[in-house]
Chain A
Amino acid sequence: MQVLIDAASTGSLYALVALAIGLVFGVMRLINFVQGDYITIGAYALIVPSAAATPTLFIGLWPVPLAIGGIMLIVVLVALATERAAFRPLRQTDPSTLLISSFALSFLFQQTMMLVYNSRPKSVDFGSSLAAAVAIGDLRVPGIQLVTMATAAICGLALILFLRRTSLGIEMRAAAEDFGMAQLLGVRANRVIALAFAISGALGAVSALLIVVQTGTLDYRMGVMPVIYGFFATVIGGMGSLAGAALGGFLVGAASQLLQAWLPGDLRPFRDAFVFGLVILVLLVRPEGIARSRAARERV
């Protein structure tokens, strides 16, 4: 049972990251590797910018709702700025140009973070009360696991409602299906894409906070692994399908925890190899991903 909760909470975290990547991919056909840096920026925004070894909390000291709002605002602004500065001018170019732009930007962000904050990882005390164990029956579950699962569920539901019930959401879905056609029908491309980036920024901020509460650690490369996992998740989930991305994220995260729990000791060091092996297996069986989107199908 404990193993299942472990798997579900890690799965939820990766599902959040995958959702953000999937959303931007849907409207722009761009795998945005800067998503990892949104996470890093969100986490570092908790402290006063300085190279000191022992960090001083800044936004992290604000009352919790204010801190969460502040972090989200910062990351959303950064996400919008990256869209405006690095992706909008390249929108008409080849998708690979966009990809290279996203790599370049990610590299730039990481180097800048290192310059401002120093490369030594920092430790912060944020949300420790959430990290404490909660007893459920005879299980003792770290509170953050429950929070992670709940947050992912809420974010997922909110996103679904937004996409299905609001006109902006419907525009976004239309754009994801067939961008050219949607534009012809009067969907404002700039607005829809900016909105996708804003949401991906907000999701990045949420993942950042969840990771920091769990690990208490800031590192300028902290977003890299989640994004790689999130990228795999969108691939196996089906490129362009949001539900698929979330499901893929959940599966990849859960698989990593289950493998950690069930692999024999000698094989455990190669856990990631097994996870990625599973990704390949899924792609061999279903090359178009678990839930493939109509838009993607037309392109094949």
Chain B
Amino acid sequence: MKMLKSGMAAFAAAVMWVGVAQAQEPIRIGFAVAESGWMNAYDGPPLKAALLKIEEINAAGGLLGRKIETVIADTKTEREQAAKAGTELVQKGVDLLVISADYDFGAPAGLAAQRAGLPAFSLGAADPKMGVQGVGNLVFTANGAAQVEGIDMAEWAFKRKGIRNPYVLEDQSIEYSKSGCAGFRSAWKKLSPDHPIAGSDVFKNDDPSIAAQITRIKSTSPAPDAIYMCSFTPGGASVTRQLRAAGIDVPILANVGMTDDYWLGAVPNLSNFYVPTFMSIFGDDPRPELNVFLDKFTKKYGARPESAYSVLGYSLIEQWAKAVERAKSTDAKAVVAELEAFKDEPLTVGPTSYSKDLHIQVNRPLLVMEVQGGKHRSLEVWRNEIIPSTQLLFRIGE
């Protein structure tokens, strides 16, 4: 009897101890991202920004009174390794899994989280399949749909630059670039129903020469008054260089893949180039909160972010933390419900909305920047009026 009593006391003590421990046990965020391999160049900057936000939250007392701990597993830019890294982190017991900034390389890890009933967030996939209709209903992406980048440039060029006869140059290498051009084409039909685009052509990112495409642009009549180029580096830089070298000086409208200045070496003194992006990394963003982010990042890492994509990582943690606070728990279902209730939620990267069907942004403003004489300058924050239809998002129609 005495033994039973002391046993019960010990059990009660143990239960209490577990209770206390749970309150203080840290929240764990796993990162299944590329620390090596070529994706590292794209996962690295947003990862750094995400770690910065976590540090800030911890410095301010943590989330729900608990510290945030991070665990990183390298995907080595391999799909199989991504699945392994995802599973490994899920087994370690994380509350959120952050995955690579690309559908193909992020999805395998995302699936591991989805199967385990954990929320996953991509650092920057621009494909709506990184969500309900693709990887699963617990999976989100911090980026907007690539189509919106094309729509933004079509609207902005039509309304602000008076462009009436654009030519579309489409990089067919990956879905991201094709989606950008699909967005531009679809928006142009709505903006200018009577005057279609001047013409269009395709290229591959690793084509060493686009001479034939240039010859076709030059023989287009009436001559195009702008070129919309959906691409990414290095192919996009090479195309820009060849266009300018061939004496085609009309405005070039690009997509976010061409953001920032690290590629400008290919086209010295580039002018008349317009690119939508998430933020200016040159300190002249019209939105003060982004300049604050830029300062904080520069202070922590001793250099400005390599790319505007970094802010996506910062806001990724920001929005998940908000949802956790509102749900008062890290429970997947509750947090996802809070995220899906976001309606123009003010985040550093801009007003953010989700719904039961869409875990990607389709109406978040982008900053339009121009390059003149090889220098970037912020022009204005543009929010698309044309919202991409589901058919356009999944590229099964317009």
A246 at interface by CB-CB < 8 Å? no
Q: Give bound CA distance, A144 to B238, whole Å.
A: 13
A244 to chain B, nearest CB (A): 22
A178 at interface by CB-CB < 8 Å? no
Complex interface: chain B residues within 8 A of A5 (CB)? 211
Determine which residue in B39, B204, B246, B247 has the highest number of CB atoms from chain A within 10 A of its CB, and name it. Answer: B246
Complex interface: chain A residues within 8 A of B237 (CB)? 121, 123, 215-217
Do B209 and A6 touch (CB < 8 A)?
A: yes
| Given the contacts A6-B211, A260-B213, A133 and B245 also touching, CB distance less than 8 Å | yes
Q: Give bound CA distance, A260 to B209, whole Å.
A: 11
8 A Cβ contacts from A255-279 to B: 257-258, 260-261, 265, 268-269, 272
User: Which of these binds chain A: B116-124, B141-149, B263-271, B378-386?
Assistant: B263-271
| Given the contacts A131-B241, A216-B237, A216-B241, A123 and B262 also touching, CB distance less than 8 Å | yes
B216 to chain A, nearest CB (A): 7
A92 to chain B, nearest CB (A): 36
Do A54 and B209 touch (CB < 8 A)?
A: no
Complex interface: chain B residues within 8 A of A82 (CB)? none
B233 at interface by CB-CB < 8 Å? yes
Do B245 and A142 touch (CB < 8 A)?
A: yes
Q: Which residue of B lies closest to A143 (CB)?
A: B245
A84 at interface by CB-CB < 8 Å? no
Q: Give bound CA distance, A114 to B233, whole Å.
A: 16
Q: Give bound CA distance, A271 to B237, whole Å.
A: 22
Complex interface: chain A residues within 8 A of B172 (CB)? 269
A240 at interface by CB-CB < 8 Å? no
Do A215 and B265 touch (CB < 8 A)?
A: no
8 A Cβ contacts from A34-58 to B: 53-55
User: Which of these binds chain B: A69-77, A183-191, A219-227?
Assistant: A219-227
Do B212 and A260 touch (CB < 8 A)?
A: yes
Q: Give bound CA distance, A216 to B238, whole Å.
A: 6
Q: Which residue of A lies closest to B38 (CB)?
A: A119
Do B208 and A123 touch (CB < 8 A)?
A: no
Do B200 and A132 touch (CB < 8 A)?
A: no
A194 at interface by CB-CB < 8 Å? no
| Interface class of chain A by DSSP | helix
Which of A125, A132, A226 is the one whose CB lies under 8 Å from B265? A125
Determine which residue in B202, B235, B245, B263 has the highest number of CB atoms from chain A within 10 A of its CB, and name it. Answer: B245
B116 to chain A, nearest CB (A): 30
Do B306 and A125 touch (CB < 8 A)?
A: no
A106 at interface by CB-CB < 8 Å? no
A145 at interface by CB-CB < 8 Å? yes
Complex interface: chain B residues within 8 A of A218 (CB)? 234
B37 at interface by CB-CB < 8 Å? yes
| Given the contacts A6-B215, A211-B208, A114 and B37 also touching, CB distance less than 8 Å | yes
Do B242 and A214 touch (CB < 8 A)?
A: yes
Do A268 and B215 touch (CB < 8 A)?
A: no
8 A Cβ contacts from A93-124 to B: 114, 118-124
Q: Give bound CA distance, A7 to B246, whole Å.
A: 15
Q: Give bound CA distance, A226 to B235, whole Å.
A: 15
Complex interface: chain B residues within 8 A of A125 (CB)? 265-266, 268
Complex interface: chain B residues within 8 A of A269 (CB)? 172, 202
Which of B215, B238, B266 is the one whose CB lies under 8 Å from A3? B215
Do A121 and B233 touch (CB < 8 A)?
A: yes
Q: Give bound CA distance, A9 to B208, whole Å.
A: 11
Which of A6, A142, A143, A211 is the one whose CB lies under 8 Å from B212? A6
Complex interface: chain A residues within 8 A of B40 (CB)? 118-119
B173 to chain A, nearest CB (A): 10
| Given the contacts A2-B215, A123-B233, A215 and B38 also touching, CB distance less than 8 Å | no
Do A219 and B234 touch (CB < 8 A)?
A: yes
Which of A13, A133, A222 is the one whose CB lies under 8 Å from B209? A13
Do A257 and B212 touch (CB < 8 A)?
A: yes
Can you report 26 A-B residue pairs in the complex whose CB atoms are below 8 A from each other?
A3-B215, A6-B209, A6-B212, A9-B209, A9-B211, A13-B209, A114-B38, A119-B41, A120-B262, A121-B234, A122-B234, A123-B237, A123-B263, A123-B266, A125-B268, A128-B268, A131-B242, A145-B211, A215-B266, A216-B238, A217-B234, A217-B238, A217-B266, A219-B234, A257-B209, A265-B200
Q: Which residues of A contact B (CB under 8 A)?
A: 2-3, 5-7, 9-10, 13, 53-55, 114, 118-125, 128, 131-133, 140, 142-145, 211, 214-222, 224-226, 257-258, 260-261, 265, 268-269, 272
Q: Which residues of B contact A (CB under 8 A)?
A: 37-42, 77, 172, 200-202, 204, 206-209, 211-216, 218, 233-235, 237-238, 241-242, 245-247, 261-268, 306-307
**3 nearest A-B residue pairs (beta carbon):** A216-B266, A119-B38, A6-B211
